[in-house]
Amino acid sequence: MTIGSLSGDLATSRAAAGRSQRRRLGRFLIIGSTAAFILLILAQVLQAAGVAQFGFPNWRPTLYGYVTWGVLLAIGQIMARGEAGWRALFILPAGMFVAAFAIFPTFAGLLIAMTDWNLSSSTGPRFNGLDNLIELFQDRFYWNALGNMVIYVLMVAVEYAIAFGLALLLNAEIRARKLWRVAFLIPLMLSPVAVSWMVGKSMLETRFGPIARFAKSVGWQSPTFFADPWIARLSIEAMDAWVSIPFMMILLLAGLQALPKEVSEAAKVDGATGWQGFWQITFPLMLPVSITAIILRIIFKLKLADIVINVTSGGPGGATDTVSSFIYREYRDRSNVGYGTMLAMFYLVLIIVFITALLNLFNKRMQRMS
Amino acid sequence: MTATLLTRSEADLAAARQRETKRFFGKVGIYGLLGLWAVISLFPVFWTLTTSMKVAKDVQRGAIVPFIDFQPSWLGWKSLGLSPETIGQVSTVRDEFLKRFFNSVAVSVSASLLAVLIGALAAYGLSRFTYKFLWMRNKDISFFFLSQLILPPVVLALPFLVLYRELALLDNLVGLTLLYTLTVLPIVVWIMKDQFDTIPFELDEAAAVDGLGSWGTFFRIIVPMSLPGMVAAFILALILCWNEYFFAALLTSTNATTLPVMVASQTGSQGINWWAMAALATAAIGPLVVIGIFLERYIIKGLTAGSVKG
């Protein structure tokens, strides 16, 4: 026992005391800021309910309160937990952001979906339980839009085939590969709204549009692209495909380029023709990439709206309507927020069930194959 | 004997020639298909650009090739106030256009920056540390972020309409920016997590030995190394935000309207001015075509992140 080690012990114990005090302060900060934030929300709710008057002009104070709460929470984390707190800080901003801007609105949406809220009516929202859901099941136009979505999603198969063909072309021994790739990628850059005009309104115009002229020259007497339900559907699908085929093509091309060189050489030596080699060797090896590409594409396809809104507004007779464009009009034309939200929520449930089923199906397939 | 030899070599020769022809036609076929698809991909852009320089009678004739079919004029650009002779003059249409254009720039750039900032932080945390929040572990938290991707805009649109009305964020650039940040965040997290996973963990350990904390390691070592991934994520986010129409159409009305909303509102009106619309569409897609040509490398990097594993 020397004096040196004794003073050392003293220093560590003093440091430990400081640390535990800091921890306590950190914990206090977390609990205190949370309590303050809850009080703020309570005050706003009370004012909104007309019980008390605090002079809030709108709900913005809650937003500012949320941000402040987040900052104090972060500081509290660091003080209370040290390095672990610093680490938590990496996901805290994104987590709080998504919680406030996706999770909260989705749950708020559930409440809105159970009201008869119409923004243009003078009466406020009134709770009406599952009335909207019952109405939904009788809404012919909504089911029509859902039916159209099935067709649009099935069309992904065609898009996939074309994209795979293009990826194979780009993977062949060609000159100026990069130039071709850039050219093929351009449609992906373009905004669906601009495409709606460029292709839907201008090139498919029945009198002057180049595609209409071309159709006339090959013998189609009076080409109209948005009068017949099936032709209209296919025209919309063609535009959407034009924009998104490059996306799948790029994924598939990356998959092809990642294939080991020996694989295709082995196919050639065995005397397999290109076609056989493709189906027996390349295609099975490309399955994982293909599934990723198809699922991502379906997810984006289920959001299809812009082109339909701008070119046909769902016409003729709802033949091209998507769920999103239908709900968009439900709000734009009728300000029907409550019912529209119920339609959207029901759609979300369908999407989650569908995508989960799809993922499970593919996962099982892949396991059986390997 | 010689005869059979001869015939065999002749047969070989014939077979070789046949192979050559097959190869030749194969090549022609490949380049033919490539050319066909290049035309399909680029013709609408070409058509829009040239239509912006046509006058009424050229449009009605369906003229295609400039200088041969028709004489280009600045008609479309003049109506936007962007032709050489009108550029110096006062033009309300141009002011309107520029306002929308800069709204689009402001919203998409700030939303992409914000998304890359908080997305990269989250992705780094998820790539390096183990978390436990309530019942959620790293895998669940990753899924929590990525699952936002399947949320269709229409689910959030109406709740946001109500929410933003209460928050006084309707028709507001900040409101739109926050919403766009949300829509691109899953993609940014996806790309950045893939990027961080490829950086060896030993580097972090070495930095820790040198006395750098987790944030020091992130900013001094990891960020410089993962810059290509960040650029890729940023550009992809930028493209998506620039083209976004659905939310902008619902949540903005006069002040914060972006370019796609302006383009869409023009097509709705009766008796479209073809050349003017074409000029507007060209201006709307121009920046992205330029980005597509010069930053193609990053776009492909961003698109293929995480989907192709060796």
Question: Domain for residue A129, yes or no?
Answer: no
B186 pLDDT band, cuts 50/70/90, is very high
Q: Are residues B155 and B257 in the same domain?
A: yes
Q: Which of B79, B107, B126 is the last residue of a domain?
A: B79
Point out which residues pair with A127 in neighbouring strands.
A115
Q: Are residues A79 and A181 in the same domain?
A: no
CB B296 to CB A199 under 8 A? no
Question: Domain for residue A14, yes or no?
Answer: yes
Q: Which of B18, B48, B79 is the last residue of a domain?
A: B79
Question: Domain for residue A127, yes or no?
Answer: no
Q: Are residues A108 and A142 in the same domain?
A: no
Question: Domain for residue B281, yes or no?
Answer: yes
Q: Pick the residue of B158, B246, B288 with the most A CBs within 10 A to test the interface with A by mutation.
A: B158
Instruction: For A14-53, write each residue's pLDDT tens digit.
Output: 777 777 888 888 888 899 999 999 999 888 888 888 777 8
Pairwise pLDDT comparison (A263 vs B110), residue with the higher score: B110
Point out which residues pair with B70 in neighbouring strands.
B66
Q: Are residues A311 and A253 in the same domain?
A: yes
Domain total of chain A: 2
Over 80: is that where the pLDDT of B197 sits?
Answer: yes
∠ at Cα B26 (B20, B29), nearest 5°? 145
Q: Which amino acid would we find at residue B192?
A: M
The per-residue pLDDT for A1 is 43
Over 70: is that where the pLDDT of B3 sits?
Answer: no
Q: Are residues A92 and A176 in the same domain?
A: no
Question: Domain for residue A157, yes or no?
Answer: yes
Q: Are residues B97 and B74 in the same domain?
A: no
Q: Are residues B244 and B298 in the same domain?
A: yes
Question: Domain for residue A314, yes or no?
Answer: yes
Mean pLDDT of B179-204: 91
Question: Domain for residue A119, yes or no?
Answer: no
Q: Are residues A99 and A141 in the same domain?
A: no
Q: Are residues A62 and A95 in the same domain?
A: yes
Mean pLDDT for chain B?
85
Q: Enter the pTM of the model.
A: 0.88
CA proximity to B241, closest of B185, B293, B166: B185
Q: Are residues B56 and B116 in the same domain?
A: no
Q: Are residues A61 and A182 in the same domain?
A: no
Question: Domain for residue B115, yes or no?
Answer: yes
Question: Domain for residue B259, yes or no?
Answer: yes
Question: Domain for residue A118, yes or no?
Answer: no
Which residues in chain B have Cβ-Cβ distances shorter than 8 Å to A309? Answer: 245-246, 249, 264
Q: Are residues B113 and B256 in the same domain?
A: yes
Instruction: For B47-104, write each residue's pLDDT tens digit.
Output: 888 888 888 777 777 777 778 778 888 877 887 777 777 777 777 788 888 899 999 9
Q: Are residues A232 and A179 in the same domain?
A: yes
Domain that holds residue B235: 92-304
| Cα distance between residue A113 and residue A135, in whole Å | 12
Question: Domain for residue B126, yes or no?
Answer: yes
Q: Are residues B162 and B16 in the same domain?
A: no
Pairwise pLDDT comparison (A305 vs B273), residue with the higher score: A305
- The CATH number given to whatever domain includes residue B291 is 1.10.3720.10
> Which secondary-structure segment (H or E) carries B173?
helix B173-197
Q: Are residues B151 and B243 in the same domain?
A: yes
Q: Which regions of chain A are under pLDDT 50?
A: 1-2
Over 60: is that where the pLDDT of B310 sits?
Answer: no
Q: Are residues A107 and A143 in the same domain?
A: no
| Cα distance between residue B31 and residue B210, in whole Å | 56
Question: Domain for residue B10, yes or no?
Answer: yes
CB A186 to CB B239 under 8 A? no
Instruction: Report ipTM (2 d.p.).
Output: 0.87
Instruction: For B114-153, write each residue's pLDDT tens digit.
Output: 999 999 999 999 998 888 888 888 888 988 888 888 888 9
How far away is chain B from the Cα of A125, in angstroms, using its nearest Cα?
A: 11
Residues 162-191 of B with CB under 8 A from A: 162-163, 166-168, 178-179, 181-182, 185, 189
Q: Are residues B63 and B135 in the same domain?
A: no
- The CATH number given to whatever domain includes residue A304 is 1.10.3720.10
CB A60 to CB B34 under 8 A? no
Domain that holds residue A77: 8-113
Q: Are residues A202 and A320 in the same domain?
A: yes
Q: Which of A79, A113, A147 is the last residue of a domain?
A: A113
Q: Are residues B175 and B257 in the same domain?
A: yes
Instruction: For B215-233, write each residue's pLDDT tens digit.
Output: 999 998 899 999 989 999 9
Q: Are residues A90 and A197 in the same domain?
A: no
Q: Are residues B179 and B102 in the same domain?
A: yes
End-to-end alpha carbon distance in chain A: 67
Question: Domain for residue A124, yes or no?
Answer: no
CB B167 to CB A63 under 8 A? yes
Pairwise pLDDT comparison (B292 vs A7), residue with the higher score: B292
Q: Are residues B47 and B159 in the same domain?
A: no
Q: Are residues B202 and B299 in the same domain?
A: yes
Q: Which of B79, B109, B128 is the last residue of a domain?
A: B79
B7 pLDDT band, cuts 50/70/90, is low
Q: Pick the residue of A30, A75, A81, A193 with the most B CBs within 10 A to test the interface with B by mutation.
A: A193
Closest chain A residue to the Cα of B208, Cα to Cα: A83
| Cα distance between residue A42 and residue A52, in whole Å | 11
| Cα distance between residue A242 and residue A159, in whole Å | 9
Q: Are residues A95 and A206 in the same domain?
A: no
Domain total of chain B: 2
| Cα distance between residue A312 and residue A200, in whole Å | 9
The per-residue pLDDT for B5 is 53
